[in-house]
Amino acid sequence: MNKIAVAAVLIALLAVASAAAVACWNGQEKAEAGQPEPSGDLESLAWRFFDGAGDGNVFVSPYSLYLALGMLANGADPGSSTESRMLKALGSSDVESLNVYAAGLDPEGRFEAANMVLVDSSMLADCASVNAKFERIVSGIYGGKVAEADFSGDIDAVKAMIKEWVDARTHGMIPDYESAADSGTAVDILNVAYFKGEWEDPFDPSSTRSMKFLNDDGSASTVDMMSKTLGYGSKYYDDGKYRGLSIPYSSGASMVLILPSGDDGMGVLESWRSETVEYREGFLRNVESASYSKKVDLLLPRFEMSASYDMDDIFALLGLDFGMPFSKMVDGTVLVVDGGKQETKIKVDEKGTEAAAVTEIVMKATSFLDPEPPTEFHCDVPFVFMLTSWSDPMFIGYMGDAGGLD
């Protein structure tokens, strides 16, 4: 019997979801006529986010972040360096295929997602208007809504509305969300992701008992440790470096737990982060496809965990910065990211798991009119010139001495 005493737990929720209102894409169906093939890479972004999320307890939602960034990418000027950098961070070839990919992240609808984009009403009163294409994409692809909000006139009321929206969409998991928006906010992009799943085979509460949990600093804490024995054919995998176990929910989603293969349970965070994305993706696939020939004795703490991550740190992890201009959200207005954050919470007990995340990207209007600085073409040095017709050089010249001009 293989005993897994959980000394350090890495949670990977492999099933991800999109809003129920969007069209499904399962990665195996062919695209409809004229629809681009899906292009994106949630897994790579997920591990970059996790790897840079700091030490101590970590709980991030790459899925929530991906959807928020997906909406943001649609606000970049086509062909701009901003669009290129956004697509690189999201692992996509173009915005259209990114949207198809984002729309099909969870064809079974195992998770809930909600999206909202708020636009400052005073900015719209000054003859600005929401870009029609951007609004169609937010509503049609991401299942969200674009609405006015009086950031400049009544920021307290707007923040109270956002708090109420997050509370409702997270089913009370994040009841007191404090928005990062302020009176200077022009646009606020919000995503909420929520999951609630019952174990396919629940833990027996009578088997839960107080036990020691060995912390990563060598100290020990007393926790309520759940326990159960998994039968033959469980999804347990050991490659000599790590051991993985997948615990299914009744919905078909799963929680994957990862421990080192050796007796020393310490250092799993540092060592797992040192592995390549390709190795980790392959390991998780092997766990999910495993069928173990022995029983597994599982110990898992009953716990709650919450975390918060600043958007400037997240952008730095992804090779992005707040100075990138976005000109296709509000016509006639160039926006830049001004802040934001992600807050998460998870609760694990004998019945199952409940998890929620809110990702917020706050934007402000900039003073410059063009979405990007113009490319300089200053003929204040010697230059060749031509007069052409249909690309034929009818006259050709060179100007190298301004002092010798007539």
Q: Is residue 388 part of a domain?
A: no
The pTM is what?
0.84
Q: Tell me what percent of the residues of the chain surpass a pLDDT of 90.
A: 53
Q: Is residue 254 part of a domain?
A: yes
Q: Is 50 exceeded by the pLDDT of residue 198?
A: yes
Q: Is residue 397 part of a domain?
A: no
Q: Is residue 30 part of a domain?
A: yes
Instruction: List pLDDT tens digits, range 304-342.
Output: 889 999 999 999 999 998 889 999 999 989 999 999 999
Q: Is residue 7 part of a domain?
A: yes
Q: Is residue 294 part of a domain?
A: yes
Q: Tell me what percent of the residues of the chain surpass a pLDDT of 70.
A: 82
The residues near 20 (Cβ < 8 Å, ≥ 6 apart) are 109, 112, 113, 143
Domain housing 328: 1-372
Q: Is residue 337 part of a domain?
A: yes
Instruction: List pLDDT tens digits, range 94-142.
Output: 999 999 999 988 888 888 999 999 999 988 887 779 999 999 999 999 9
Residue 387: its pLDDT value, please?
52
Residue 215: its pLDDT value, please?
86
Q: Is residue 138 part of a domain?
A: yes
**CATH number assigned to the domain comprising residue 328:** 3.30.497.10
Instruction: List pLDDT tens digits, range 15-25.
Output: 333 222 233 33
Domain count, the chain: 1
| Pairwise pLDDT comparison (195 vs 392), residue with the higher score | 195
How crowded is residue 401: how many other Cβ atoms within 10 Å of its Cβ? 8
